[in-house]
A = this chain, B = another copy of it.
């Protein structure tokens, strides 16, 4: 099964010859162009500026950023290099506050780096190998999650999906189709970054799925008029109480979907974050208001109008029909026992 480029992380985040090549999601699909990073700061900026996007891809990018830090400073003394790596990890962690995977990948990559220094190994190689193995594992998780999710799309479901739900959604649609279901998608454009228009719609189209783009505001009308059967997204974080954080708008859509009996399934990949007990622990990132005050780099409102841009919102468990992980489909109330 050939995945579309955006769903194939190995074509989006490429570490080679001491440089990190990132598929530039700010210009895709109009251009398939890579941003090349050679140090920590350029990686951190690429994350902040949304060159990369999506919890897992952000996390792998940051992990490789740490490998670059080790490479740039390869002639440093051991203790100094430890400090440098620790500082680089801090810088990378501070890029985006909402997703949990970023923290996990950086922490484990830092641990690998520090250990390799203790053992006299090459920290750059060890970190890069570690991140690559996480990507291989991530790919397996996405495929399994997609297989379980495909069962929810039987009998030709029409799926509403906002922002970009990653490879598990693509797998789910493709597996459902393999089983003979004619599945379709409605995709809100997802202002201000247009992930729906620029990432999800081209990816589903590349996978041969019938895809209709809609204004973000039309979801209520769409659900009310019976045009969608299932609402399905990823999540930037899943808490142990069964709540999730996802692209802002998800709460609006989940409430109205629930009102009309349209089940909301969350592609939760690895499951809940062990350290996030309730949604209260999730920091909702507030991004630069300038992103709302401009459109295609042109101002939309006159000077003096201020803006507010929370990038995520929280959906409580009562609006979630199920969370799909690599292990299967779970009720939100099962999240608290997920890790045993």
Contacts and interface: CB of A to CB of B under 8 A. Distances in A.
Contacts of A191: 189, 191, 215-217
B298 A214 contact: no
Main secondary structure of the interface of A (DSSP, over half): mixed
Contact of A251 (B224, B306, B312): B224
Interface string A179-197: 0000000101111101001
A87 B15 CA distance: 68
Given A194-B295, A308-B218, A313-B220, A255 B248 contact: no
Nearest to A284: B221
A109 to B, nearest CB: 32
B248 A252 contact: no
B296 A295 contact: yes
Given A300-B198, A301-B201, A309 B218 contact: yes
A82 interface: no
Contact of A301 (B197, B215, B289, B301): B197
Given A300-B197, A313-B224, A213 B307 contact: yes
A317 interface: no
A212 interface: yes
Interface in A231-262: 247-253, 255-256, 259
Given A216-B217, A218-B310, A305-B202, A256 B248 contact: no
Interface residues of A, number: 59
A61 interface: no
A201 B309 contact: no
A267 interface: no
A268 interface: no
A77 interface: no
A301 B204 CA distance: 11
A29 interface: yes
A295 B307 CA distance: 20
Nearest to A210: B306
A225 B167 CA distance: 32
Contact of A217 (B190, B212, B295, B308): B190
Given A217-B190, A217-B191, A212 B306 contact: yes
A146 B162 CA distance: 37
A211 B306 contact: yes
A193 to B, nearest CB: 10
A283 to B, nearest CB: 13
A302 interface: yes
Contacts of A51: none
Contacts of A301: 29, 197-198, 201-202, 205, 213
Contact of A221 (B189, B194, B224, B251): B251
Contacts of A298: 296
11 contacts: A30-B302, A190-B217, A194-B295, A194-B300, A197-B295, A213-B301, A213-B306, A218-B309, A218-B313, A224-B314, A252-B253
Given A192-B215, A194-B300, A215-B292, 12 more contacts: A189-B300, A191-B217, A198-B300, A202-B305, A205-B304, A211-B305, A213-B300, A214-B307, A214-B309, A220-B313, A222-B308, A251-B256
